[in-house]
Structure 1
Amino acid sequence: MKCFKSFPDFQMFELGTECSATLAKLDEFMMKNMRVGHVIRLVSDDPTADLELLRWAEQNKQEIIEIVQEKNSIQSSLSNSSNNYLFNIIIKKIKD
């Protein structure tokens, strides 16, 4: 079990997915399923996830609560990258 600064209401695991596709899924999920104040944990193995999500949050007026990078001990056979790390990104919806 991971400890984060805020307990997530939802989780999304995007392994082996390019960040642009992940952002599209995240946008859709947040619009359909989340209310202002809800928190989601996004797990990604995309090596640019941390930078892309920071940019996305600024553009979409959402809050990144925390980004935790950890060693990826299980390499996904679906992974299209050689990234050895996972990003746990905690996002709070602050705007509809």
Structure 2
Amino acid sequence: MSYVIVGSCVNDAVCTEVCPVDCIQPSPEARDFAHAEMLYIDPDACVGCNACAEACPVNAIYRIDQLPAQWAAYPEINAAFFRQGAKREPA
């Protein structure tokens, strides 16, 4: 089951450090990291390990099947980030 990052993300990148498959972008090393409003999880690459959700200091990461209604648009927002040409950069 994939995870999703929602609008309460503060872009502190601790989740990128614990992700075993580097599916959270942009990574701190990416050119656009400093300007990113939030981070995004690639739904095709996520292995559902829960490490990111446990590490998130602001509880901005949810399992898709446990996503509160107020964040219902965020699975598509995360997926669209990667469809629009975001490149996975190693952490």
Normalising by the residue count of structure 2, what TM-score does the alignment of the two structures yield? 0.32
Higher Rg:
1
Q: Which has the higher strand share?
A: 1
TM-score under structure 1 length normalisation: 0.31
- Which structure ranks higher in relative contact order (CA pairs < 8 Å, sequence separation ≥ 6)? 2
